[in-house]
Amino acid sequence: MEYLVDQIRSQFPALASGAIFFDGPGGTQVPQAVIDAVSGYYRKANANEHGFFPSARRSDAIIAASRLAVADFINAASADEIVFGANMTTLTLQLARALGRTLKAGDEIVVSRLDHDANIAPWLHLQENGAVIRWLEIDPADCTLRLGDLGRIIGHRTKLVAVGCASNAFGTITDVAKIIAAAQRVGALTFLDAVHFAPHRPIDVQALGCDFLACSPYKFYGPHSGVLYGKKEALERLQPYKVRPASDSIPDCFETGTKNHEGLAGVGAAIDFLAALGRDFSANYAKGLEGYAPGRRRWLKQAMAAVTDHETRLFSSLLEGLLAIPGVRIYGITDPGRFNERTPTACFTLAGLTPAHVAKKMGEQGICVWDGNYYAWEPMKYLGLEEKGGAVRAGLCLYNTDREVDCFLESVKKLSAVNQLA
């Protein structure tokens, strides 16, 4: 079926404002179904877990359904492998602390210079346990990792390799399968940051073979929350820090305190929103199908393929337009033949103007973009951008349009022209 972006947009109340939301890498807007799920939780299921009364049982059922939805979203073997938390950063810090209990002095952890600091700082803290940090470095020409160094960096002392599936700054998609294979050859665990990757490409943790993966539902049309996947056997080997009365079973032992139940209702709704898109795009669309759980994994795969095609087409126009504007410098892959190696996220600077100035002027025109380092602190320092205010970031997602790309480019052109005259 045709990608009907207007019909998709009609499901997002925030888009009626007329603002152009190119801030998706920092968090997407949410469809009405997610809003309804969150408010519906408060109306019908607002209770803590494991009670013998109706609202508690409804709450338990909603959380279980959302856990299953996330398992479907990333193709996990079991819903018990899904841990919910406040956000990816908090979950990663928690996991790092538990993993730290298993390390001894001299054990090595490999991290990537390309990553968001939420997938760097938690592992750096383990130097307190005697861990040694090894770095995968960046090729500044296209903001990719130097994977040719894997054999030198990963060795018999490596206990964990932590890398991102995609750079939240430059959009680079890393060949994590190659990294996982190198880690597995020496018996090391692998942790993937899929926060920026999840809105743009399908995830299959079983095919990847990673031990852990984290992502953030608010980057793929859900509420602010975090998700951690762990292979059952990997989670069972760890002893997370928790209060004494809390369950010792997984995933409960990793979920400290009361969960954000209403947010988790929205997480399940966000995944079902994507599944519904996939069902509608599928030639095997079955009218009258009630709910998405029976075919959700299939529908999600179909949805992500359609979303990728839409976003890539739009991004081709956006990147071509940016490259033609005087004074614009783009960081990351710019070759259209390599767009399978990147997400639809542009990181750029405009000569003579600070990133904050560009973002402010665009914001005044109703165009939402980010400036700064977006917590990608290491790569911004490495490229010499941190001391200059970072860069401007514009990211596309499933509800963006050709008209919005044109408006964005016109805004950048005007800023460039004014700066040229100054």
Q: Could you say which DSSP state residue 155 is in?
A: -
Instruction: Note whether 398 and 311 are within 8 A (CB).
Output: yes
- For residues 263-271, give the mean pLDDT: 98
Instruction: Check pLDDT > 70 for residue 292.
Output: no
> Is the omega angle on the peptide bond into residue 251 within 30 degrees of 0, that is, cis?
yes
* Whether residue 287 has pLDDT greater than 50: no
Q: Which two tokens stand for residue 84?
A: 């919910």
Give residue-wise pLDDT tens across range 300-325.
999 999 999 999 999 999 999 999 99
Q: Are 304 and 201 in contact (CB under 8 A)?
A: yes
Reduced to 3 states, what is the DSSP secondary structure of residue 162?
strand
290: confidence class by pLDDT, cuts 50, 70, 90:
very low
* Residue whose structure tokens are 């762990």: 230
pLDDT of residue 1: 60
pLDDT-derived band at 2, boundaries 50, 70, 90: confident
Parts of the chain belonging to CATH 3.90.1150.10: 5-22+306-421
> How confident is the prediction for the chain on average, in pLDDT?
95
Bridge partners (DSSP) listed for residue 163: 192
Q: Which residue has the higher pLDDT, 38 or 2?
A: 38
State the pLDDT at residue 421. Answer: 60
Does position 296 have pLDDT exceeding 60, yes or no?
yes
Please report the pLDDT score of residue 293 as a whole number. 65
- Return the bridge partners of 145, or none: 138
pLDDT tens digit string along 318-370? 999 999 999 999 999 999 999 999 999 999 999 999 999 999 999 999 999 99
What is the spatial distance between Cα 268 and Cα 41, in angstroms, rounded to a whole number? 12
What is the token pair recorded at 188? 């090391």
Residues in Cβ contact with 389 at an 8 Å cutoff, skipping those fewer than 6 apart: 354, 355, 356, 371, 372
Interacting residues of 265 by C-beta distance below 8 A, sequence separation 6+:
37, 38, 40, 41, 45, 62, 66
Distance CA 391, CA 409 (A): 16
Containing 312, the helix (H) or strand (E) segment is helix 296-323
Q: Strand (E) positions, 148-287?
A: 158-164, 189-193, 212-215, 226-230
Give me the mean pLDDT over the 373-395 stretch. Answer: 98
- Alpha carbons within 13 angstroms on the beta-carbon side of residue 404 total 25
Distance between CA atoms of 180 and 209, rounded to whole angstroms?
Answer: 7
Angle at 202 between CA 199 and CA 203, to 5 degrees: 105
What sign does the CA torsion over 304, 305, 306, 310 have? positive
Q: Tell me the three state secondary structure of residue 238.
A: coil
Within the chain, all domains assigned CATH 3.40.640.10 are found at: 33-268
Q: What is the Cα–Cα distance from 226 to 160, expressed in whole angstroms?
A: 21
Q: Average of pLDDT values for 377-383?
A: 97
Q: Which residue has the tokens 């979920």?
A: 255
CA 234 – CA 230 distance, rounded (Å)? 6
Order the strands of the 328-331 sheet from edge to edge. Answer: 328-331, 345-350, 391-395, 370-372
Angle, vertex CA 172, rays to CA 264 and CA 91, nearest 5 = 30
Distance CA 58, CA 63 (A): 9
Closest CA to 307 of 273, 354, 262: 273
Phi, psi of 367 (to 5 degrees): -110, 115
pLDDT higher than threshold 70 for residue 284: no
Q: For the chain, what percentages of helix, strand and coil (3-state, to nearest 5) are there?
A: 50, 15, 35
**Region 5-22+306-421: CATH code:** 3.90.1150.10
Could you list the beta-strand ranges (E) of 279-378. 328-331, 345-350, 367-368, 370-372
Please return the burial class of 7, using the count of CB atoms within 10 Å of its CB with bins 0-12, 13-18 and 19+. Answer: exposed
The pLDDT tens digits for 128-156 are 999 999 999 999 999 999 999 999 999 99
In terms of CATH architecture, what is 33-268?
3-Layer(aba) Sandwich (3.40)
Element (H, E) at 183: helix 176-185
Q: Please tell me whether residue 83 adopts helix, strand or coil conformation.
A: strand
Which pLDDT score, from 0 to 100, does residue 280 have? 81
Confidence of residue 285 (pLDDT cuts 50, 70, 90): very low
CA-CA distance, 232 to 210, in Å (whole number)?
12
Contact yes or no for 238/199 (Cβ under 8 A): no
Residue 374 has a pLDDT of 97
Q: Is the pLDDT of residue 286 over 60?
A: no
Percent of the chain with pLDDT over 70: 96
Residue 407 and residue 410: Cα distance in Å, rounded? 5
> In terms of Cα–Cα distance, which of 395, 373, 374 is closest to 384?
373
Provide the whole-model pTM.
0.95
**Residue 193, phi then psi, degrees to nearest 5:** -90, 110
